[in-house]
Each structure stands twice: as structure tokens, then as C-alpha cells.
Structure 1
Amino acid sequence: MTDQRQRHILCMKWGTKYGPEYVNRLYGMVRRHLGGDFNFVCLTDDANGIRPEVKCLPIPPLNLQLKPGQRDGAWKKLTTFEADLHGLRGTALFLDLDVVVVGSLDDFFTEPGDFLIIHDYPRFWRFGERIVGNSSVYRFELGAHADVLAYFRGHMEEVQKQYRNEQEFLSHFLHKQGKLRYWPAAWCPSFKYHGIPRWPTNYWRAPFVPPGARIVIFHGEVNPPDALIGKRNKRFAHIEPALWVADAWKS
């Protein structure tokens, strides 16, 4: 079992899309669902309003060569693979700010593997082997995959042409090294794909927590505040209020 003194929860906040309340709620959920000691670290450009239990550190510079109007977006996550991330040592579990924790996190630190990530959710138009992971939840040893970031910094233009986003690049890079593994499928379900009743029952049945879920992933057009009030940012799509979010998503 991983030494609990070396367990870190990492998250990242930049810009104005997510306020400090997202970090504070994430800390509260982790504290309720992870036994023993851990360090909670937020890599951020603005620590205002973040609760004192969270250690706020600057996001390492990515040095992405941006074109006019281009944003570095989620490519910033690659900076978690710095050879020396602010002197942190041990095992890190990275969580996106908009996930909702609903079950025990203990096993995320004991599941075997060099690098674990969500197996990205299948879509009907995809063919062939599905390699890409969803980087809403991933675990790694700090400093162990510095070659990921080094390669990106040395081949930025090439990588951005070949891969749509950071999780595609990351997944394929580690897959080629034989280091990529996925969480058990039930642990990290998608709210959008797995937590909304099928049409037409979605008009009268409320969204639910999928069986076996530990962390519910909110990606695409629904986020936790919208789900809570029954709002879906997609035309002709309907959800009832996901009242379970109110019980889980709190500081």
C-alpha cells in the first residue's frame, strides 16, 4: 500500500471559468471519502478565496507557443509531469474541478499500475482500438513521467497538429511505453452518458448515480450546478434536477 504520508490530491484552476468554491467543494468531498492523511494541492494563478487546508502553488509555465487567438487550455495539465513539481514527492491523484465524488477514493491509490486514467467514453462513430483516456482523473508518481512534458515542449507544433488535446497526446505517449492503464469502468462514469435516464423517461425520471460509481465525471454540456437545477446546455435535450448532487457536491 502507498505510504499515506506521500499521497497528494492535485487539481488545477486558472482563469475565471471556475471560482474558488469549486476547489473548496472538491477538498470537502475528498476529505469525506479518502481515509488517512493526504496533501491537497491546487496549482493556480489565483489563490483568493481558497480554503486554508489547500496548499496553493503556481502553475509551472508551459511555454506554449500560441498563435493569435489560440488558448493553451487543458494543455496546462501536462505541467503536472514536471521532473520536480514544487518539490512534491510521492503519489498524486489528479482530479478535475468539476467532478463529483460519491464513493471511497482509497482504492485509487492502491490500484496497480504505473499510470492510471479513465478509459474515455465510447462514441458510436469511433472504430478500432480505443486508447485515449479521459484526464478528469489520473494517478501517477510525481516526477516519473517527465519525458511526457519534455517531449511536448520540444515538439509543440507537431503534437498539436497530431493530437486534438492533451489527453490524446498523453494517452498515446504512455501507451507506446506500455505504461497506460485504465480505472475499473464503474469507478468513473460519465454523468452525460451513464447518469441520465433514457429517452423518453428522462422527462419524468431524475438523473441517478450509476452503480459502483466513485467519481462522477461532468464533461461536455452539463456541469454540477446545471445538473442540480435540471439545466442542459443542449437544444432539445432535457433532464430533471439531479438532486443527489446537492448531497455530494458540498464543502
Structure 2
Amino acid sequence: MTENVNAVRAAGSDDRVILCMKWGTKYGPEYVNRLYAMVRRNLKGDFRFVCLTDDGAGIRSEVECFPIPDLKLPDGLPERGWKKLTTFESDLYGLQGTALFLDVDVVITDSIDAFFEQPGEFLIIHDWKRPWRVTGNSSVYRFKLGAHADVLEKFRTTGAEARKAFRNEQAFLSDVLHKQGKLTYWPASWCCSYKYHCIPSWPTNYWREPFVPDGTKIVIFHGEVNPPDALEGRRNRALRFVRKAPWIADYWKE
């Protein structure tokens, strides 16, 4: 994979970096390209947009592409489901400043300036389904690059045990940072779940279109539905009817 030519420019300590990650074939380059376009429309000022990926083909030139760092796990331990922890490398390709990580399948519906202004050392979405837990949803999180290398190092040294104790990377990192007193959550209205918050409740889902709740800045698509599915009213679970969401096309575009 050829790194973007912009990657050679120096990074400053005050840089704002948008990070995303794409691997495998589930998401094509159009997800990264549309994510960049949504950020550009909704974030004032300068920023760097970096994609960690195993295939940079088709990704627009404004995006700096780098290989996904190796988790450096013992032989036989799979990396799937834990790759985001590599964003906490002590030196991530020389990047400096504040990073906002976004999943490639989110839809940005309003200004995201506040995500760089909100106080907190490490900010993440508070899990919607079980809010009494400390676990965050890592579709959107912010941190200072290089500041939490100990999270990655702890996983590398306790990988097998961590896999038994935690379901995925977001549960692991939330637990570690919570115990350090560094975990903070975004205001609840900023990031909503398409599945939980946008689809009208039964039986109104049969005649009401999905909607964007008031105060939402980023819609999270997790589990069964991605933006193109929602746009066409497709759902991958039986007996869960949902109408088309034509408003997605107003945001999820280049």
C-alpha cells in the first residue's frame, strides 16, 4: 500500500487529527471518502484525516493512509475485534495532537466542533443498552495521541486473559481508563444509535420514517444496519420492519 504524499508533512502538537480504520472487504473506499466529506462539512478549521487500513485503493487524496499497526500478539491469538487498540501506539506514524476516532460507517448530521472542545482526558460514547456499566462505545472517542500507550501495552502483555474477561476492545479500554480515573463520556444527545433511537417504536415504525433525535451530531450504525441499508429500509432481522430513511442521503455523501 502506498502512503499518501501528505503523510510526509510535519505534525504539530496542536494538530486536530480525525482517525478512522478500514480493513477487510466489508467496507469499501466510499465509506472513507464520505466520512471525510462529512467531516469537512461539519468541522471548522484545519485538520488531518488519517485512515489506518490494509488497502488504500480508491481512497481520496485528502486522506492520509497508513498500514494498521501490528498488535504484536503471541502466535495463535487473532487480532479481529481488537485492532482499534493500535490507535494508542506511543508513536503512531509521528502523528501529534488530539485525535478524534470515528468508525467509517457513522453519519454526521451536525457540527462536530464541540468534540474537540469538550473537557476530558479521554472521551467516549456511554453504552446505551446497559448504561449502568462503565463500558463505552468506541464508534467515537477522543484522546491525545501517544498519551495512553499503557492501554495497548497492557493488552499485549495480558492478551489471553483480557479476551476471557472482556468481550471486545471497547470494554477492555473502558475498564482500564475508568480504573485510572480518565474515562469521560460525551453528552448523551451527541451520539445516537440508529437502531435504538432513530427507528420509531412499534407499531408506529410501520408508518413513521426513522428520524434524527434532537441534539444529535453523529448517528451510530452498529450491529445489523449500515447507512445504505437504512437508506433503503433494509433490516437484517426478521419481524423488525423499518421504513426507508431518505434523510441519510442528505448527509452520507461526498
TM-score > 0.5 by shorter chain: yes
Structure 1-normalised TM-score?
0.94
Q: 1:26 aligns with which of 32, 35, 46?
A: 35
1:74, distance to aligned residue in structure 2 (A) = 2.8
Structure 2-normalised TM-score?
0.93
Q: Structure 2 CA distance, aligned partners of 1:5 and 1:187?
A: 24
1:130, distance to aligned residue in structure 2 (A) = 1.4
Alignment of structure 1 residues 137-216 onto 2, 5 Å? 137-216=140-219
Q: Structure 2 CA distance, aligned partners of 1:45 and 1:222?
A: 23
Call closer, same or farther: CA 1:248–1:164 in 2, change over 3 Å: same
Alignment of structure 1 residues 48-67 onto 2, 5 Å? 48-65=57-74, 67=76
State whether residues 116 and 181 of structure 1, in contact with CA within 8 Å, keep that contact through their aligned partners in structure 2. yes
Q: Structure 2 CA distance, aligned partners of 1:38 and 1:110?
A: 14
Q: Structure 1 CA distance, aligned partners of 2:162 and 2:193?
A: 27
Aligned partner letter, 1:156: G
CA RMSD of aligned residues (A): 1.4
1:136, distance to aligned residue in structure 2 (A) = 0.1
Q: Does 1:108 align with 2:111?
A: no
The answer for unaligned runs of 5 or more in structure 2 is 1-11
1:5, distance to aligned residue in structure 2 (A) = 5.1
Q: Does 1:93 align with 2:100?
A: yes
State whether residues 66 and 72 of structure 1, in contact with CA within 8 Å, keep that contact through their aligned partners in structure 2. no
Q: Structure 2 CA distance, aligned partners of 1:168 and 1:133?
A: 7
Q: Structure 1 CA distance, aligned partners of 2:184 and 2:169?
A: 17
The answer for unaligned runs of 5 or more in structure 1 is none
Aligned-pair identity in percent equals 67
Q: Structure 2 CA distance, aligned partners of 1:243 and 1:64?
A: 43
State whether residues 103 and 139 of structure 2, in contact with CA within 8 Å, keep that contact through their aligned partners in structure 1. yes
Aligned partner letter, 1:241: K
Q: Structure 1 CA distance, aligned partners of 2:78 and 2:204?
A: 39
State whether residues 126 and 136 of structure 2, in contact with CA within 8 Å, keep that contact through their aligned partners in structure 1. yes
Aligned partner letter, 2:158: H
Q: Does 1:35 align with 2:38?
A: no
1:4, distance to aligned residue in structure 2 (A) = 9.5
State whether residues 14 and 96 of structure 2, in contact with CA within 8 Å, keep that contact through their aligned partners in structure 1. no
